[in-house]
Each structure stands twice: as structure tokens, then as C-alpha cells.
Structure 1
Amino acid sequence: MSETAGHYTYTNLYNWLILGESLDSVLPRLNDSTYSVVTDLVIATPILDGYVLHDVYNPSKYHGGSLNVTELGDWHRSSGLNITLTHSKFNRRANYHGMILRVLTVTQFKPNNTRLEDYLEDYSNKSIDLMSKFVYPLMQHLCDIFNFTMDLSTDFYWDEIAENGSHTGMMGMLNRGFADITGSPGAINQKRFPLGELVMPIWNFRTCFFFLSSPLRSTNELLQPFSTGSWYATGALTILIALILSISLAFEKIDHWIRQYGIALFSTICILCQQGSSVIPNFLTGRLVFLQLLFFSLLIFNYYSACIVSVRLNQPLDKINDSLNELAESNMDIAAERIVYYDYLLETSTDWEVQMLKEKRWSKMSDAKKYLPLEEGLKRITRGGFAYHCDPNRGYPLMEKLFTSEMICRLSEVHLYHPQGLGAWVGHHSPFREIARVGLAKINDMGLRKRQAIRWSARKPICVNVQQTVNSVTFTEIKAAIFLLLLGVMLSLIICLLENIIYNWNTKKRYERDN
């Protein structure tokens, strides 16, 4: 029996039945060093026509626990098996009678003159060491459920590798047996499994690059109010109205047909552009055409103007996808808050986008430009063209103070660490693994974990469009109008030059003919 303890065969994977003459002869021979609350071991001692069954376990010998022997039932040749201990295993073994549970947490900003318990309950600075403050009430609930006495201690790092290759920090202490369970959630990856055993994920963790998306600049904004078909229809109607107007002007006794058609076309364009007309028909036919043209231009111009204003007020943002590769290829400057897991994520992540960001941008930056304090980094975001990496739970509260409503609506995120669970860990072959799993599952099912997550997580700033604002018009957006203006000026100069040439030529011919 003593040899089996070294192979950890007293877990919930094995069921033991030991036949002995009496408890006094069997109990001294048991090696309960690896027993726990999940141990299924029954000792059967003989009576007149059967056996008495005894349930045996030890919550944890190395934590001061003692061997617990309870009558499970009996077996008789005549009546068979009779179980009197009917409660579930975890319910009847849930009382640890004040046993010490060593909880190791990570705190990086705790003042030296503050008690650790008081610091973890400090809600006024909840964004500092937030994950440890979140787990602390869960550990309190766990101790209350199973009657533990919490022995709380702290370290500065989650996991650090010393020069000799050994692990230090919270996970290293856990691996060497100086703690029973982590009081801060740890990353779930292959490098952590040699150091401990995962209980269950308890905290959703993510980190982002934050930046302001600029309004989408369109080069054809002046053409957007109408579709291509509408523009063709408007042009066709303009030509048709000009023809009808030129026919009506035939009754006005205009001296030349070219002048007649020119006045009709020019007047039509002027009225459509809300510039009026210097020609007023004298006959009813021409005036009716003018009246219809005025109504047509009124509707077209007002609808066009309203669409332009609406486009300016509701400009879509030029957002990029939640892609680090797109961020790396953008022209934005980047920086990050100096947090312990940022470089760890860049070094250990196998995601190709993370590696592209590292190769294209991060590795080419000097150390002085890589890291900025949180407040300074968020202030640089407000100037535009800058992406800053931080924990949302630290960044959101400060954003609500520094950003305007318009900036909050333009705020965009690109994840470096996509949302995933961080877990509670125990040491290898820990006697508390299953009981911690049961307790934390119960805490989760009762809604206590979600309540604490809502209490300690920062709220994302809410976009409130109280007042619409119009951004300044850029050259890109009006270059079509400028091009049209320059084209008109060039055509005017060319026509003016041709008119002068023709005039001078006619004048010269007339002079030669007269002489």
C-alpha cells in the first residue's frame, strides 16, 4: 500500500477495496500522503455473516489533515449490500475544518505600507492589478464554501525564467510547492502545463491597439447624390428642354439661328445652376417653358444640395479590419504601454499576424519610441495617425476623461491578444485540484463570477451622437469641382482666342475688300 502512493493511484480514476481483519490492522499500513477528497478507498472488515464497509480519505496530509474513517454500509450474505452513507462524495467531504489554503497572487503596484488584503479590496483604483483584485473575492467564496483558512501571499511576476533556467514568479512558486492555488489568472498555453495543472478558465483577457478612424474621403463626392442613370437622365432632359426653348425663341425674332440656340442652351444651364437668365421670353409659349424649367431646376438643385449635406453629416469611417497585418501596413505610428506580458506575447505567439507586426514595425523601432506611459499614449491617439496598445480595462476609464464624444465614436480596436480565458492553476498532483474545480464551477453557476467580472471590468466608452459635426472639406473631395473650373477656364481662353483670330481675320478681309 505504501508503494502505490508514489504512483498517485488514489485519484478519482481508481476505486480501492481493501479486505482486512480489522481497522486497527489495516490503518497503520496505509500511506495517506497522496490521499485527497476524491480518494475512493473502502476497507471491508468481517462480521458474523458479512462485512462492514468503511469509507477512508484524508483531505491533505501535508496540510495538517488527518485520516477520516466513516462507516459506509455493510454487506450480508443474506440481504446483500446496504449503503448508509448516501450523500455525494463532495458534499460529505466539503468541510476542511479551517485547513490552510495557500493562495499566491501577483501585485505590481501595491504600496509597501498597505496590507495585501486591503489592497486587493481597494475599488477606488480598480484598474491597477485588476485581475488579482477580481480573483480575490472568488478565493474568499471558495474558502467559505469548503471552510478553508486563506494564507495570502504575493509575487511581482506571473512567470519569469532566471539565468539558471529555473522558473520564478507565481508559476515557479506554484511548481515548487510554495503555493496551493494561484490568486491571479494565468495564461493557458503549453509552456505553463509543466509548471502546474489548470483548474478552469475564470477571466476573459484581451489586449488591443487603439486608434481613431478618420472619415472616409471620397473623390467623387460631388457625383454621389445621383446615380449614373440619374445623371444621364438629367443631361438628356437638359438638352431636350434647351431644344424646346430654342424653338419657342424662334418667335422672339432673334437675328441668327446660332444666337437663338446659344441663348436657349446657355439660359437652360444658368437656370439649372440657380444663376437666373438675362433673357425673358415675351410670348406665352416661351414663358411656359421657362416656368417648367424653373420648377425642374428647383427640385433637382434642392435634392442635390440636401444629399451633399447628408453625405457630409453621415460620412462613414475609414476603418481597418481587426487585423495586425493591416495595422502593420498602415502609415500610423505605434507604441505600447510597458506591461509585463506585451513582450511575452510578441515572443511566444505563433500567430502569423503577430509575427508580421513584430518584423515590419516593432523590431525596427528604438526602445525610446516603443513604450509610452498610459496617459501620454492616449493623448497622442487624440491627435490622429497613432495606434497605442494597452489593456482595455486600464485604458477605457481614462478614455472617458480625455476623449470627446466625437473621438469615442471614431475609436477603433485591433486585437493583439484576442479574447480568451485565463485560468486558475494548482500544483501538479495537488489534493485541491478537484475541490477547487467543483467550488469554482459552483461559484460560476451561481453567477458570482459574472458579478465580480462586471464589477471589476471597465466599461467601454459609449458613442453618443448628440450633435452632428461636419468635417472640413479636403482637396481630394473637391478636386473634381476644381478640375471642372479649370477646364471651363481653359475652354474660355481657347474660345476667346479663336474669336479674336476670327475677328481679326474678318476685319483684315473687310479692310482689303474696301481698299
Structure 2
Amino acid sequence: MDLKLFNLILYYFLKLNMKVLVSFNCWDVETQLAFYKLAAENSFYIDYINLNDSKALQGIEYRLIAKKPTMGIFMDLNCENAEELLNIASQERLFSDHFFWLIYDDMANVTYFRGLFKRQNLAVDAEITYAYLNTPEDDGNSTAIASYTLYDVYNNGYYHGGKLNMTLDREIYCNQEECYVNKYLSKLHLRNKYGNRNTLHDATLRLTVVVTKIPITSTPEQIFAFLRSVNGTNYDAIARFGFQALSILVEFLGCKTNHTFVNRWTINETHGGLIGALAIQSADLISTPFIPTAPRMEFFTIIAETSSFRSICLFRTPRNSGIQGDVFLKPFNTTVWSLFGVLLLLTAVVLWSIFRLERYRMYKRYIDYMPSLLATFLISFGSACSQGSDMVPGSIGGRMVFYTLYLLTFLMYNYYTSIVVSSLLGSPVKSDIKTMGQLADSSLEVGLEPLPFTLTYLNNSLLPEVRRFKHKIDSVPNPQAIWMPLEKGILRVRDQPGFVFGFEASTGFLLVKRYYKPYEICDLNEVLFRPEKSLYSAVHKNYSYKEITKQKVIRILETGVNLKLHRYWVQTTLECFDSNFIVEVGMEYMAPLFMLLACTYVLVLMILLCEILHKKYWTERKMRLENILFGQNWHNE
């Protein structure tokens, strides 16, 4: 029974805050009971497995994986089946950050340990500490204190070409009561785990890169030239942005790479293409971020948000979308218009009274005839329309009424015109279509960019508005004609107001900024084709480089390099400033006026016709009466 070794085991795992422990050893029963008692005093949960019993190792990987997410494992390297346990752990990838291994070698045979672990499947996330008992010194304290040397053990990736790395860590003294650090043998304690494993210089990672705009059968040199170029930002923008960001990550990791090219993101949620390669672990890293969904999260771990995805339908406002019958009545509400009309009517009555008074009651006549009430109303209404009149009252009181009428109509006219001008200088008329449901129910012509995920979304979405939109495009005479290249669709939206084109915003907005004038951008309407999503960089859940990749990606985000690339390749908004507005008074403004004029002309013609008929009727009636009274030919005599 060795209490000093027991104290070393408990000291090591207590420093890791780890109290769930599986002990692989070949101690006798008395020693095992003594260790149990000491561990129970420190609140440890211990599971013991005898390494000299080969049957006890059968299915051991399932027993370990089924326990808590993280646990400590102590192993006595000098037991009979130690190598068999190590082989099982290597095959089942148990040397990971879920299992903290303390491997004790009583023989202190570092050469044997090194040769044994050169063939084990270790990776950069391995949590392995190798400890051995130092040769006792010839002094009086040699029996009271035991000296242990600890090594930090890892590999940058055995199956990725990495080499075993064993670094001296510290020397620990243990007595019958406690353990403590005697001295540090390296600078490992000054940095965290991945601060000591910050480069993968001897590992070769498998990268899968998606490219859709050039043939996948092109030579690697041609594909690399396309992905690294900065021209033609509307072609494969997300893929090229992701590849250039991934190239920076590879530089940070300091590893070698082996590239595989695919021409699609995925066939369904988790199979095929780029995402499928990551799901089956045939790729260590992929070039582009993607949308995390519930099926995908069963396989992947999110690293960081690195981009965004907006699929939209864009169209210019149709010229007939703003036609409203009350366009010229909007500056004032109904009450104001009613009061203004009553004032004009009262003024017309007052003017008629003044004209009558001046003609029949005053000594001096100012006009030669008496205007009718209709004539004074025309004067009053003409004043409201900024028109003058040649009939002006001669009396001082009458002229004061006239001045009051013109002042009233002048103020109303100025208020009216200022409000109309301010509305014209404001935002241009926008369409009332704001959702996919409204777009599906409209009569607007639709076109779509031929993207794989767009077709997948249309075919698989269960949203009712998407189903109606799918029926809309299927019901056209030639459904295949709606699929058109991005550049053609963007130009058609510009040249044909009312034409709707659906595309991915990050690439399409680059063409919009290139081909559209500022006032044309302000005239655009956006409808989200699908909910806006963030894109995340991710790795497989069982990926050995998960933590170091996360740290490197976060560091890249902190430097702003990723943001600079994102702003260049991925456009998320279109700028529209007040100075960009060019107000075109089109049919949406003038149609109500023309309709009003047309209705007025029709009404005037009808009244004129009625007057003609009325005149003709009374003329004929007069002729009949005269013929009855004076005979048929009296007017010829």
C-alpha cells in the first residue's frame, strides 16, 4: 500500500476539479480498499476495473462513453493488459478532452512509453499526463517523501501525420499527508492548454471547398485562381469569401492542407456536398459557413457567427401602384375642405348682395348689369384657384370683402402647395406588397435566380405563402422561363418596373450598386423570400481540433480581418439617401387629375346638351303656341 501514490492521484484530479474517476489498475484487495477509503474522504466517485482481467475490458468503451461528459481516468501502465486498454482507447478515440488520463509508470521507462504512444491515435485535444516515480535519493527524507515527474502528452493528429509530443511539466513531492509542486520543469504552467499547442505544423488537414460558377472538372490551379481572385464579386461571393477566410485560419493554425472540391452545399440537410463531407468526417474543415438547423445540429458544433444569408425578391414600384382618387385632397382633411367650401359659398352670397345693393340702392352705379348668384360663386371659386375677376365692387365695404376673399384663398393656396411639394420631396411611392403571401397573390411577373437552395426551399417548405408562390410560378405558360441568370434578372428589374426577381442578396446587391442609378435604388421594394438567417462556421462534434479552431476563429474575428472580407464580398443593404430622390410626376400622381378633368368635361358636355335640349324644347313650344294663336303661316305675312 502506497499512500504517497494515492495522494498523487487525488491531488492531480482535485486540481482539475474532477471527482468522477475510473481506476484501471491491478492492485490487491487491501490496497484497493485503502484507496477507496481515501478517495471517499475527498468525495470522489470511483469505478474500479482490474487490468489483469481481460474480460473486464470487453465493451469498456461503452461503459466510459455512457458516463458523464467528462471524467478522470487513472491507469497503471505496469499491469498485464495495459497495452490492450490503450489499443481500445486509440480505436474508440478515447484520448480526447472528454477523458483526463493520468498514466502512472512505476518502472519509469520513458522510452517504452514513447514507443508505445507513437502508434496511438492521439490528437491536439488529448488530456494525457504521464507520471513516474523518480529514483530515491540517498538521504534521510527519501522514504518519507516520494518524487514524481509529470509529462504533458499529445499529438497534433496521428492520422493527420502528426508526431508524438512529450513535454516535461513539473516535479511533485508527495508524503503520507499531501502533495505539492517542488519545481516546474518547463514553462507549460505559464500558458493554458492550447497556448502550448498553438500550431499544427506537422499535421495535414482535409479541407472541402465548394465552387459552383466554374466547372468542378477544372484543374486545381484554375479553381484556386478563381477562389483567390477579387474580381467578379457577384460570382460565388459566399464561397469565395469563405475560402479566403478559411485560408487565414489555415495560416493561423500553421498546418498543411489537402483540398477536395465539390459543386454544391448539400443535397438535403446533412447529406451530400460540402455539409455531407463534414457530417461523415471525410473533411476536417469546410470553406463556407451554413445555416444551423435541428438535423444538422445532431452532427455539428457551432464555432462562431461569420456571415449572414438573405434571400429576397426585388422589384421597382409599378407606376400604377400609387393611383388613388384622393391624392389631391390629402393635404387637408374633410373638415377643412368643408369649412373652406362653406366660406367660399358665404362669400359668394355676400358679394351678390353687395352687387345688388350697389346697383339698386346706391346713387352711383359701378357696374352696368346685375351679376347672378352663380357668377359671384364663380368669382369666389376662381379666387380659390388663383384667378382674378374683372367684376370688382366699387364700394369700400365691398372691396374689403373682396380683399378678405383673396387673403383667405392666398393662405389656403400656400398651405396646399407647400404640403404637396413636401410630399413630393419625401420618400417615393412604395408598393403595398410587403410579404411573400401578398406577392404570391399579386399579378406581378416573377423571375428567380437558378440556385440549388432556392429550388429546394420551394419544393420542401410547408409555409402556405410559399406553397402559393410555388403554384404561381408553376401556373405560368413556361415555368422554366422564370429561371434566369442573376445579371439578366437584375437588369430586367431596373428596366421593367413591376417585374419581381428573387436572388441571394449578398451577390445581387453588388450588381444593383453597379448598374442602378441612386434614384433607381430608392425606388426598389424588398420582400424577404425566406426568413433572414445568420451563417455559422461549424465543425463536427467529435472533431479533435474543435477547441483550437474555435480559439483561432474568434481571434480572427477580433482582428477585424473577417469583417473586412465580409464587407467586400457580402452586401447586406442598399443605401438610399434623401439627396438621391428624383421625383418623377408620373401617372401615380397625375391619373387622378386626368380622371377628374375627364369627369368634369363629361359633366359639362351633359349640362350643355341638356341646355340645348331645353332651349330647343321651349323654342318649339313657343312656335306651336304662336301657330295656334295666329295661324300656320302668320310669320310669312
2:173 corresponds in structure 1 to: 76
Out of 323, 326, 336, the residue aligned to residue 438 of structure 2 is 326
1:356 aligns with 2:462: no
1:251 paired to 2:357: yes
1:132 alignment partner AA: A
* Equivalent residues of 1:104, 1:184 under 8 A apart: no
Provide the C-alpha distance between the structure 1 equivalents of 2:525 and 2:385, rounded to a whole number of angstroms: 41
Distance 2:408 2:277 in 1: 83
* One of 299, 313, 330 as aligned partner of 1:224: 330
Which structure has the bigger radius of gyration? 2
Sort the Cα spacing of 1:105 and 1:236 in 2 relative to 1 into closer, same or farther, 3 A: same
AA partner of residue 38 (structure 1): D
2:340 to 234, 237, 241: 234
Match of 2:249 among 129, 142, 150: 142
Contact 1:312 1:471 in 2 (8 A): no
Residue 453 of structure 1 and its aligned partner are, at CA, apart by 0.7
Equivalents in 1 of 2:373, 2:235: separation in Å?
Answer: 79
Q: CA deviation at 1:363?
A: 6.7
Instruction: Return the letter of the residue paired with 2:88.
Output: E
Q: 1:370 aligns with which of 482, 498, 517?
A: 482
Q: Which residue does 1:59 correspond to in 2?
A: 156
1:12-51 CA distance string (max 9 Å, x none): 2332222221244655665974432222222221234142
Which deviates more, 262-271 or 493-502? 493-502
Contact 1:5 1:31 in 2 (8 A): no
Alpha-carbon deviations, 1:42-100, whole Å to 9, x = none? 22212341422222222211011222222222332257232733120000011222421
Of 309, 333, 352, the residue aligned with 1:205 is 309
Q: 2:598: which partner in 1? A: 482
1:394 corresponds to: 507
**Alpha-carbon distance between aligned partners in 1 of 2:455 and 2:157, rounded to the nearest angstrom:** 39
Larger relative contact order, structure 1 or 2 (CA cutoff 8 Å, min sep 6): 1
User: Partner letter of residue 376 of structure 1?
Assistant: K
Structure 2: stretches of 5+ with no match in the other structure: 1-84, 137-145, 362-368, 632-637
| Residue identity in the other structure for 1:283 | S
> Which deviates the most, 149-158 or 194-203?
194-203
Give 2:448's match in structure 1, choosing from 310, 320, 336: 336
Select 1:281's aligned residue among 393, 418, 425: 393
> What letter corresponds to residue 233 of structure 1 in structure 2?
L
Question: Displacement, 1:384?
Answer: 1.6
Bigger drift between 345-354 and 11-20 goes to 345-354
**Pairwise CA RMSD:** 3.5
| Per-residue deviation, residues 440-498 of structure 1 (Å, max 9, x unmatched) | 11111222211211122247553352643322455345434433443454345446655
Measure the CA separation in 2 of the matches of 1:471 and 1:405.
Answer: 18
Cα contact 2:310–2:506 (8 A) shared by 1: no
1:405 aligns with 2:518: yes
Quickly say closer, same or farther: Cα 1:272–1:495, change in 2 above 3 A.
farther
Tell me how far 1:410 sits from its aligned partner.
Answer: 0.8
**Deviation sequence 1:93-147 (CA, Å, 0-9, x none):** 1122242122221122347364433322211123222223212332232233232
Correspondence 1:447 to 2:560: yes
Confirm or deny that 1:125 pairs with 2:232: yes
8 Å Cα contact 1:44/1:54 also seen in 2: yes
With 71-80 and 224-233 compared, the bigger mean Cα shift is at 71-80
Task: Say if 1:205 and 1:485 are closer, same or farther in 2 by CA, change over 3 A.
Answer: same
User: Which of 171, 193, 198 does residue 94 from structure 1 map onto?
Assistant: 198
Task: Report the secondary structure of 1:418's partner residue.
Answer: coil
- TM-score (ref. length: structure 1): 0.86
Deviation at 1:258, TM superposition (A): 9.4
Residue 202 of structure 2 is aligned to residue 105 of structure 1 = no
Q: 1:169 aligns with which of 264, 269, 273?
A: 273
Q: Secondary structure at the match of 1:209?
A: strand
Q: Which amino acid aligns with 1:394?
A: T
Structure 2 CA distance, aligned partners of 1:512 and 1:283? 51
2-structure distance, mates of 1:503, 1:303 = 49
Write the letter of the residue equivalent to 1:51: Y
Q: Matches of 1:318 and 1:366 in 2, distance apart?
A: 29
Q: Could you say which residue in structure 2 is the equivalent of 1:462?
A: 575
Query: 2:147 & 2:462 partners in 1: Cα distance?
Result: 62
Q: Identity of counterpart residues, as a percentage?
A: 22
Contact 2:428 2:523 in 1 (8 A): no
Separation of aligned partners in 1, 2:596 and 2:152? 89
Aligned length: 512
3-state DSSP of counterpart to 2:575: coil
Q: 1:362 to 1:441 in 2, by over 3 A?
A: farther
Tell me which of 267, 291, 310 is aligned to 2:379.
267
Q: Is the 8 A contact 1:242 1:268 kept in 2?
A: yes
Q: Which residue of 2 aligns with 1:18?
A: 103
Letter in 2 for 1:39: A
Letter in structure 1 aligned against 2:308: N
**1: CA distance, partners of 2:434 / 2:98:** 44
**Residues 1:184 and 2:283 are matched in the alignment:** no
| 1:253 partner SS | helix
Contact 2:356–2:370, Cα closer than 8 Å, also in 1: no
Most deviating of 12-21 and 478-487: 478-487
CA distance 1:388–1:19, change in 2 (3 Å):
same
Q: Give the counterpart letter for 1:65 in structure 2.
A: G
1:151 and 2:238 matched: no
Give, in whole Å, the separation in 1 of the partners of 2:400 and 2:280: 99
State the one-letter code of the partner of 2:171: D
Deviations 1:360-418 (A, max 9, x none): 43476644223112222123212122111122233223223433333211112222243
CA 1:50–1:411 in structure 2 vs 1: closer, same or farther (change >3 Å)?
same
Residue of structure 1 aligned with 2:412, choices 276, 300, 310: 300
Distance 2:571 2:90 in 1: 47
Task: Find the residue that maps to 1:319 and give its secondary structure.
Answer: coil
SS at match of 2:194: helix
Is the CA contact 2:307–2:535 (under 8 Å) kept in the aligned structure 1?
yes
**2:129 equivalent among 36, 39, 42:** 42
